[in-house]
Amino acid sequence: MDKAKEIQDFYASKVKNACRPEIRRYGALQMAFFKAKRSGEDISVLKQELENARREAMRKAIGCLDEHEHFEIIATLSDNGKIRSMPDFFKNCII
């Protein structure tokens, strides 16, 4: 495993541990949204709740790392890797 991947995995686990309740809520709402959509129910309220939960999880994920940790992650980003930007990194952490 290369050094960049190790750094990203370390900080991803730190983010996941700090945001566990928000990530669980987001996952539960995703499942409810999927089930409601398949059954033909009105999904407008669930869609808004899902977006709010995603926004809250992302906000907390971004806030749980300090500036030095952000710069350390930025230094590991590459154009040919799975994670190419900080939003990609945080999206990967909450899904």
Q: Hey, what amino acid is at 1? A: M
pLDDT band for 69, please (50, 70, 90 cuts).
Answer: very high
* pLDDT for position 4: 84
Per the listing, tokens 């809520």 go with 25
Structure tokens at 46: 């669930």
Give 81 or 85, the one with higher predicted confidence. Answer: 85
pLDDT (mean) for 38-54 = 91
- CB contact burial 65-91 (16+ within 10 A = b; e otherwise): beeeeeeebeebeeeeeebeeeeebbe
Q: What is the value of pTM for the model shown?
A: 0.81
